[in-house]
Structure 1
Amino acid sequence: MKTDSALEHASSEKFRTARRTTFLALNEIDEETILSLTRLTLPEIREIRREVAQIMPAGNLPALILSGLIQMGHRKITATQVKKDVTALLRGMDFLPQGLYGVFVAGPSAVLYGYQQLLRLAGRDVKDAFPQGTWQFYLEYALREDSARHTNETWGFHQALSPAPATAVMAAAWVWTTLKLLYTYDDLLSLVWRERVMLRGLHAVLGEVEAQRVPSWRVLTNAWARVCPYHRPAHGGDYIRYRATTFERFLQRQMDVLPAALRREVWRRYATQQRTALPAYQEQMTFLARLRPTRYREERIPLPLWQAAVGFIWQGESYLLPACDCDVWGHPLCTPPGAESARPFPLEVRGNTLFSSAGQELRVDHRGRVLAATGNELLGVLNPPSPQQILGWVQAILTRPAPDTAPELDLLLAEIPRREHPGISATLPAPVLKDLAALERAPVLINWDRHASLQPLHALRRDHRGVGSHALTIFRTERSMVFNQSHIFFDGLWGMVVAEILTDTATHAYRRFVDATPAKVAVPAPLHFTLPAARLQHLRTRCIAPGVSAESTAGDLRQIYQLRRWLRKRGIQLTINDILLLYRYFHAQVYQPGAVVAELLKGLAERLPAKEYAQIRRSVAETWASDRTTNPALLIPMDATQVAPHERIYPTTFRNPLTDLPVIFEGVQSAYSAYRRADSTSNWEEFDRQRRLLLAYLQIFGELLVALKDVTMRGESLNVATLQLLGHLPPAMQHLLDGIPRRIGVLNEVLKGSEVFSNVGRVALGSTLRRFNSAKDDGAAKELVWGILTDDQGILHLSLRDFRPFVTLLWEHDEVEVARALTQDYLVSYARGLNVFVKSLGQMVTAKKR
């Protein structure tokens, strides 16, 4: 029998052989052909081939795919071909040792990045291969699991309620609100797309006109952000119409100063994009879809509105409430166009197709308009159920007796890898499979069981939440609403916008439902997810350890604002996020566990067998030691929608190249302490000399981040030559650039980050958003996920999701509370250390000679 080391050696040799085979196969493709197809130089071609062999050692498969791409000639590559190629490459990776191959650490991003490099060698435009943007394509391959959902919380609904609100009325208001979103989401997407494209077009036209004073892009977008409404007016009315009117007034003020010719040019460019890009964007972003898992990716299957439902969870059981008004036989009711008071007529359902009573095949768009299957003849509209029906259903559900045992299957499926779902489904009883398929009709689930708001968001969301095929789950606590969103459908910032809009809409809907009389309805039946105990136990063993999380509001934002003002007076521009990033690098090196951690580990030693305890203790110690010597690579997601709405996110990875900063900071602290102890000229001069050096480094740090953000948001390459051409960067910085990423690309950046650092910024004035948890991709490389939100009261909300190796070990030994405590200690240490750091830096920046 082979030893572990022998097996590892054999696997390593197999890995090296695969790399050599891949490299040699790529070398057999004629370089002259590649040169004729691309603008690449010969050294660049050879470097790309070497890189592909390193990250995608799949034998001769990459070369075969490259040959196929070259042989396509001038034919445009299709999305179907791209998916076919990527699936083939992922399948090829399955034959390699998983423990050694980076794709199983970084996730499918390695293969997707390698495929992009093959496209470059074939002279293909990556934009043609990924018409919805690289990020969208990446999401469906690498943000599939339960950990790839982000969470936020709003308080506005509960704050607006009467002292003793009726539970059924509250629930009915949220069901109605969710249904309204289903019908109007395309309009909301259209409005937001219009805002972004119009402002971008306006700025572009101004920039092309010589001698025209052009407001910066940030000034223009920030001006709109300050007046953009997220609530309807106090007198009520339609939110989307109100926001559209507000934007038109804002836009008109910007356009009024332009000559007529320029105004026409702005509108011409907008109209050109509107015809093609807007429908594609709406199709990309709609959540009227269900996710179907395959081995390597999620397929988004369109969900016709007439088939859709809202899932309602009560006492652990799931119910489906139809999205469209139906007759007693379940046939959708269609209202004739322009005759809202007319009697609706039923449509026939044959399989998955709608027909009129005359046998005409029909289709229904996202807004509920009923059209002929071919052509655009409008035959009528579908409407959501009435408030009375909704209230009747909800009351009937809430008065049902509690089940003997709540189902567990849905909870388990939510945490089992998505790639395993097809195999599991094939073994389930037909009735269970039927109800799971029915659940997929609900793009939104509302879990109305009451949850404790004091829990971290990550813990709160681990209740019944579907099985991973839907876009959004809404949870209720005693004082807030919590929104758990799939990254495939919602990015962090957009998810927060939708959460705030839903909260405001539900608040107004509640007032409407207070006086509603519930209709007499058939009591909805719950879906059944019952399996024998033995089957459930087997499924438990296949769940992914979900990690743990911590939250803190201990960071003092007022101190940071004051520090920024002091630094600005010295010509140093650091944003709030820059300072948070800066201290992350300090904290990684100086963290020391608190006394509580020592006590917890001591208790762990008393509960666990010696061998298991030693394994956990060693993992904890190794993690802490590694953190102190590692310069963490932070993956920072940047909102790309202001540049190109369909791109969604531009990720960039930042690793601090100024590794001397902590040492310099300590030197300034020591010099300052020496001066305060002994007020001498020599001590002051030494302190001031070291302070000037520290301030120079801080200026470089800020300038570097400005350059990184600007280049990332342009989607361009970032290399030393580019940075040296940026005039605002000080020359002293240029010898520090060796560690800066040479290429800004979605997949390249995702590959390198070891942590996610997601700061969604300060919410709009009047917003009731309070907390935020960021999402994590499906690979094992991202061990820490930071989520940062500043509420409208100026309180800094920090969250940390922890997936470090010892967390998984503690989950396996049912010591989750210990894992949570370790993470909480780490986060609180960061928050408190940040306060000390900011205070100390402020004192040194403002110090004057006595």
Structure 2
Amino acid sequence: MRDRAVIGTVYAGPAALLRAYQQLLKLAGRNPEAAFPEGIWQFYVDYALRDDTARHTCETHGFATALRRQAIQLSEIDRLTAWVMTAVTCLHQYPRYLENEWRERVYTHALWQITQDDTHADLYREWEAIRPFQNSSPPAPNEDFPAHRQRLFKQFLQPHLRALTDNQRYLWQTAVNQAEANQLPAYKQQMSILAFLQPGSYGEIRTPIPPAQAWIGLIYHGRYYLLPITDTGGRQPINVADVRRQITSILSAEPATGAATSLQAMAKVKRVEIPALRRTFMPTLRQELDLLKMAPIWINGDMRPHNLPLAQIRQAERGIGDHPLTIFTTEKTAVFDLSHIFFDGAWGVALAEILTNEAIRWAEWLAQSTPAVPNGERPFHFTLAFQPTDHTNIAKAAHVAAETSAECSTVNLAAIRSLRHRFKQYDILRQLTVNDLMLLYRAIHAIAYRPSPAIVAELKRLAQRPETKGAANSALTAVQTVYTSNPAILIPVDAGRRSPKDRVSPMTFEVPLTNLDLVNRHQQTLAALASYERSVRNRQVAYDHFDEHQRSYLTVLAGLGQVLSSAKARARLGDSFSMENIKLLAHLPTVVQRLLDKIPNQFDEINDAIKGREVFSNVGAVVPGSSLTRFITAKDDNEKKELAWGVLTDANDVVHISLRDFRPHVAQLTAVNQEALATRITTDILTSYADGLNAFVQDLLRILDAAQAVANPRNAAVSTTIHLNLPAFAQQAHHRYGCWMPGVAMLVTAVIAVIWFFGFRQPERNSLFANTNQDAVVETAVIGNTTRQLITPSPTPTPTTQPTASPLPTNTRQPTNQPTNAPTNAPTEIPPPTAVSIRIRPQDEMPMILIGSTTFMMGASPTDAAAEPDERPSHAVTLDSYTIDQYEVSVAQYVAFLNDIGGYLNACNGFSCLITQAETRDSHVVGIINGVFVAETGFEQYPINNVSWHGATAYCTSVGARLPTEAEWELAARGEDGRIYPWGSEPPDASHAVWGTDSFAALQPVNALAAGISPFQLYNMAGSVWEWVADGYDTFYYEYSPSENPTGPETDNVTPRILRGGGFTSAAADIRATNRHLFSATEFRDNVAIGFRCAQGAP
């Protein structure tokens, strides 16, 4: 309330005066836009994105991959030479890189302006999808990469130019000629990296470096060296042989005497502190630091481990922040660390791809040439003689915020794209993009997130110790606070298509979750869907109830999509609320500009509106063939910016999400040697977000599947009816402070006009944002005045002691081919298990139970109150003899299979088999150690989990078996007497099965819990892990299935399949022997409680 109260006096008043001041300037003939000759964003980054945390980083694997594919063995000298020559080439060709980038944007935009034709509206996007980053096709003679790209762009443009009328072509040519004469030179000067940053009290001064005075910086064994970029004449690029000899001299002189001097501490000093700090140094040290900045590109040749997060890789030696670009190397990748003053995210990743391909070109040349001989002259190297007082002063200076980081790649992109495809079938949902869905779920996740119990327990333990009490309590407050509103998120929007100098337009977004009642609507819709799916009578009434809810919910989502789309369109024109407030600083004295800019930092409400608390930067999907793999975004120097989310989708359609955490507890925990715990907290947030996003998308797919599966005459009118209301919805969506922007409270008024309100209903179990097969914890949160349940994935608890294995059964009997007595559909008194015939499968030593030909009643009995409609009617089924595994397939058995096939990604019938500890904590497959897959020690005989349907079928095929049919599985689980559970019809307890728990650690070995075995002595047919069967799913299949050996409806490789038996997260009703559960056959990331057993026909 305090923040809201001060807005009028502290911010709104000055803002009104500043607007009046701008009007006076206009009357006096001074245009406020003239205060930003290089665009508003460039003006902003020069003073607001100065510090080390304002650099973004990306990674490519192309260099190492190309060497491996071509069997090129580069020496250390040639590896460094390739990257130094890449940097030399970059500096010489960079103006032409910029020319291409500028022309591609301006030429395509001018075409659209001239024609106003939809054909040209997305012309630049079409070019983006095919633009080259290397000489991909046979180049013309003496054609380097910039010339090659320019030629291909002209070829791309020609058909569109030929289609113009003579007048249109004249207007286009005139427009681009004028722009090229008036704007291109200034753009090249603005974006040039042949420059260094001079820190001042109020911002950075970009100072050009004459080419003859520029160097390439090389860091080797922690020491700093300089290599020239031109020949002795100062005009042409330095010869590769000269570079090679100099690097040979560096390596031959190592190890040099004395320890290397590190600049890492100084790199973390706030830039505003640097001028005063430098004045305390000795003149010789200042001279060296002045020379250090003359290298626009620094290459750290000391290899870093490739499995480190990018935020850790970039913490190695990297100068002191005066230069535009640092390149790090690992054994598998190259990492590019870029100053936001010179590079935006999209241009940064594009340049990284260009430089990677250039390095490959040099490596190929070097591999064919004669090794160099040192010339005896060691290139210039720095002594960097800091005095003890210098280190003291550096330590006392203000530093950037401490950070931790985390990365994950478990988002199910296929499901999101499937959802987008489904959205396109509704006119109103077409504008809701993949990034919009990710942003929307981040808003939901912010209020739904609950920390890992293990993390909370560790923090509480540390809070009992005097030396860690303060830091632990701060962290507890940060992770346990129940937020009633989601954070304001700053989203960088590409503003360079219209005018390349504008680069980026930031916009802040805050979803009004509480006012829109979005979480509640999601729950209500799923609850109505579950009621419809359970209904037997009055199904049309139940469907109509669900239909009302889903129409209401989809209307809200569609409205948000339209508002976001409109806001992004306005942001591209520089019309976001953030940009409008930066414009207010035009023509003011610098000291006044910085004073006014600090106002938002003092008041949360203003900061949220203008700068946001989080950054969410998605550079999108890379082009096919790209080697980009990871990306982390930058944050501005605003201390209230706490989290920075970066997203990149690689060429293999894997979504890589990074999270940089700058919250206050990070520094406090680091100060008491608990940085690892701070990192676990960050990882917990990111993992929870990714898991929850996957579940959220699956929920939406379920809703849309159900809505489209029913032939309802109202459905045909849904799109048109809602579409007619949405223009008013979007037109009334204004920012809460009176300016256009996304994240608006007035959105609610428009929503109320087009949606229906329903009372809150308690959600069905496992319904919100957590897949029914994932670990979930149910928490209660208060949002507005409504209490509701939020279900979010919970992290893995600490594994418990391994239970004692139950003895394997020894009694046997001879199999019979005679059918049993006539079946019954009513439960009877449960007899003890009978003797069975056990056969050992030689391929994996699995005991298999022989079940003779018989007829039994399949499906739930009429008296089973927990049964769903798809379990009925009960019907007689006759099966031939078959064998089925006595136990679920174990971790050890599946690891042996992985070692046989040599991998798991896309390795099972062209689909991924499962995920391991490389992607999730809820796995006992450690991953690859010394070239082989390894089972976690002590858990070899636990059931394999996280398995896709294709991962299960591939295993069974490899051992000469198959998945059981649904009928075979049910007979093996419940026998012929109509029992509800494998052990009988009494409710389950802990002696029967592992069920009803959120703890992955609760799983037991495959031969545990003998009290829960089935009549045929099969273990863990209830609980433990769900089990795949071969059949596809149809709710009404029992009404028409064949009476002999049914195999389910027709399927293909992507048809959803059936799970049986429930898992450790399941409720008692879900571990009944007749329960059926539909799940994606291709999913392999959200299968924490899914395993399998095999079957085969009797010999």
Q: TM-score when scaled to structure 1?
A: 0.74
More off after superposition, 196-205 vs 679-688: 679-688
Aligned residue for 2:629? 770
The match for 2:184 is 278
CA distance in 2 between partners of 1:117 and 1:816 (Å): 52
1:661 equivalent among 502, 510, 518: 518
Q: Distance in 2 between matches of 1:391 and 1:179?
A: 13
Query: Aligned partner of 1:384: which letter?
Result: P
Instruction: Verify: 1:567 aligned to 2:423, yes or no.
Output: yes
CA distance in 2, matches of 1:705, 1:674: 33
Counterpart residue type for residue 700 of structure 2: L
Offset at residue 525 of structure 1 (A): 3.9
Equivalent residues in 2 for 1:590-739, closer than 5 Å:
590-602=448-460, 604-605=462-463, 609-610=465-466, 613-626=468-481, 628-659=483-514, 660-680=517-537, 681=539, 682-716=541-575
Deviation at 1:191, TM superposition (A): 1.4
2:119 alignment counterpart = 215
1:585 aligned residue: 443
Q: Could you report, residue by residue, the CA deviation over 1:727-776 in whole angstroms, capped at 9, with x for unpaired residues?
A: xxxxxxxxxxxxxxxxxxxx999834111110000011111001001010
Out of 84, 89, 101, the position equivalent to 1:175 is 84
| Post-superposition offset of 1:585 | 1.1
1:184 aligns with 2:93: yes
Secondary structure at 2:483's aligned position in 1?
helix
| 1:411 aligned onto 2:264 | yes
Q: Cα distance 1:117–1:455, how it changes in 2: closer, same or farther (>3 A)?
A: farther
Matched, 1:446 2:299: yes
Cα distance in 1 for partners of 2:293, 2:154 equals: 38
**Residues 775 and 843 of structure 1: is their aligned pair in 2 closer, same or farther, counting only changes over 3 Å?**
same
**Structure 2 counterpart of 1:621, which letter?**
L
For 2:477 and 2:462, the matched residues in 1 are separated by 17
Matched residue of 1:500: which SS? helix
Q: CA–CA distance in 2 between the matches of 1:450 and 1:750?
A: 42
Tell me the CA shift for residue 784 of structure 1: 0.7
**Residues 1:802 and 2:661 are matched in the alignment:** yes
Corresponding residue for residue 826 of structure 1 = 685
User: Contact between 2:495 and 2:571, CA under 8 Å: does it hold in 1?
Assistant: no
The DSSP-based 3-state class of the residue aligned with 1:402 is coil
Q: Is the Cα–Cα contact under 8 Å of residues 759 and 788 in structure 1 kept in the other structure? A: yes
User: Are 2:47 and 2:203, in contact at CA under 8 Å, matched by a contact in 1?
Assistant: yes
Task: Output the amino acid matched with 1:424.
Answer: L
Secondary structure at the aligned position of 2:421 is classed as helix
- Residues 89-131 of structure 1 show CA distances to partners (whole Å, capped at 9, x for unaligned) of xxxxxxxxxxxxxxxxxxxxxxxxxxx7986797742221101
Q: Deviations over 1:366-404 (max 9, x none)?
A: xxxxxxxxxxxxxxxx11221111111112222333356
Bigger shift: residues 518-527 or 788-797: 518-527
Whole-Å separation in 2 of the counterparts to 1:636 and 1:845: 29
Flag the 1:597–1:639 CA change in 2: closer, same or farther, 3 A: same
Q: Do structure 1's residue 495 and structure 2's residue 348 form an aligned pair?
A: yes
For residues 275-321 of structure 1, give each alpha carbon's deviation from its aligned partner in whole angstroms, at most 9, with x where no partner exists: 11000000000011111111111111110000000000001110000
Kindly provide the CA deviation profile for residues 257-279 of structure 1, in whole angstroms up to 9, marking residues without a partner as x. 11122111101111111111000
The whole-number CA distance in structure 2 between the counterparts of 1:717 and 1:427 is 43
Residues 43-100 of structure 1, C-alpha deviations (whole Å, 9 max, x = no match)? xxxx9644367xxxxxxxx89xx9xxx8xxxxxxxxxxxxxxxxxxxxxxxxxxxxxx
CA contact (8 A) 1:651 1:749 kept: no
Question: What is the CA–CA distance in structure 2 between the aligned matches of 1:706 and 1:150, rounded to whole Å?
Answer: 26
The superposition leaves residues 307-356 of structure 1 with CA deviations (integer Å, 9 ceiling, x where unpaired) of 00000000111000011112xxxxxx16xxxxxxxxxxxxxxxxxxxxxx
Task: Tell me the amino acid that sits aligned with residue 489 of structure 1.
Answer: F
Contact 2:74–2:363 at 8 Å: present in 1 too? no
Change (3 A) 1:618 1:124: farther
1:429 matched residue in structure 2: 282
Aligned to 2:128: 225
Structure 1 pair 405/452, CA: closer, same or farther in 2 (3 Å)?
A: farther
Q: Which amino acid aligns with 1:691?
A: Q
Match of 2:391 among 536, 560, 569: 536
How far apart are the structure 1 equivalents of 2:655 and 2:336? 19
Q: Indicate conservation of the 8 Å contact 1:483/1:499, yes or no.
A: yes
Q: Which residue does the alignment assign to 1:297?
A: 203
Question: In the aligned structure 1, how far is the partner of 2:28 from the partner of 2:485?
Answer: 38
Counterparts of 1:120 and 1:261, CA distance in 2: 36
Residue type matched to 2:177 in 1?
A: A
Please tell me whether residue 196 in structure 1 is matched to residue 50 in structure 2: no
Cα separation, partners in 2 of 1:448 and 1:409, compared to 1, 3 Å: closer
Q: Distance in 1 between matches of 2:256 and 2:677?
A: 32
Question: Cα distance, 1:478 vs. partner?
Answer: 0.7
Amino acid at match of 1:132: E
For residue 215 of structure 1, give the secondary structure of its aligned residue in structure 2.
helix
Answer whether contact 1:711 1:718 (CA < 8 A) is retained: no
Q: Secondary structure at the match of 2:335?
A: strand
Contact 1:389 1:519 in 2 (8 A): no
Assess if the C-alpha contact under 8 Å between 1:290 and 1:470 holds in 2.
yes
The DSSP-based 3-state class of the residue aligned with 1:549 is: strand
Q: Does 1:483 align with 2:340?
A: no
Q: What amino acid is aligned across from residue 569 of structure 2 in structure 1? A: D
Residue ranges of structure 2 left out of the alignment (5+ in a row):
579-605, 711-1034, 1036-1099
The offset of 1:407, in angstroms, is 4.1
Q: Distance in 1 between matches of 2:639 and 2:16?
A: 21
Match of 1:772, SS state, is: strand
Aligned counterpart, 1:781: 640
Contact 2:463–2:473 under 8 Å retained in 1: no
C-alpha separation between the residues in 1 aligned to 2:637 and 2:543? 53
Aligned partners of 1:388 and 1:519 also within 8 Å = no
SS at match of 2:468: helix
**C-alpha deviation, 1:615, in angstroms:** 2.6
Give the aligned residue type for 2:689: Y
Q: What are the Cα deviations for residues 646-665 of structure 1, in whole angstroms up to 9, with x where unaligned?
A: 00001111111353111110
Distance, in Å, in 1 between the alignment partners of 2:74 and 2:509 is 48
Equivalent pair of 1:315/1:403 in contact (CA under 8 Å): no
The 5 A counterparts of 1:110-259 are 124-161=30-67, 162=71, 164-207=73-116, 213-217=117-121, 219-233=122-136, 235=138, 237-259=143-165
Paired with 2:238 and 2:568, the residues of 1 have a C-alpha distance of: 47
> Can you list the C-alpha shifts for 1:777-807, whole angstroms capped at 9, x where unaligned?
0011211111000001100000011111211
Q: Distance in 1 between matches of 2:536 and 2:56?
A: 53
The structure richer in helix per residue is 1
The question of 1:838 aligning with 2:697 is answered yes
Residue 503 of structure 1 aligns to which amino acid in structure 2?
A: T
Alignment check: 8 A CA contact 1:153 1:770 kept: yes
Relative contact order, CA 8 A, sep 6+: which one is greater? 1
CA contact (8 A) 1:785 1:800 kept: yes
d(CA) in 2 for partners of 1:227, 1:626: 47
- Which one-letter code corresponds to 2:47 in the other structure? Y
RMSD of aligned Cα (Å)? 2.8
1:761 to 609, 620, 631: 620
Matched-pair contact (CA < 8 Å) for 1:132–1:646:
yes
Q: Is the 8 A contact 1:52 1:117 kept in 2?
A: no
Compare 426-435 and 140-149 and name the one that shifted more.
426-435
Residue 215 of structure 1 aligns with an amino acid whose one-letter code is: T
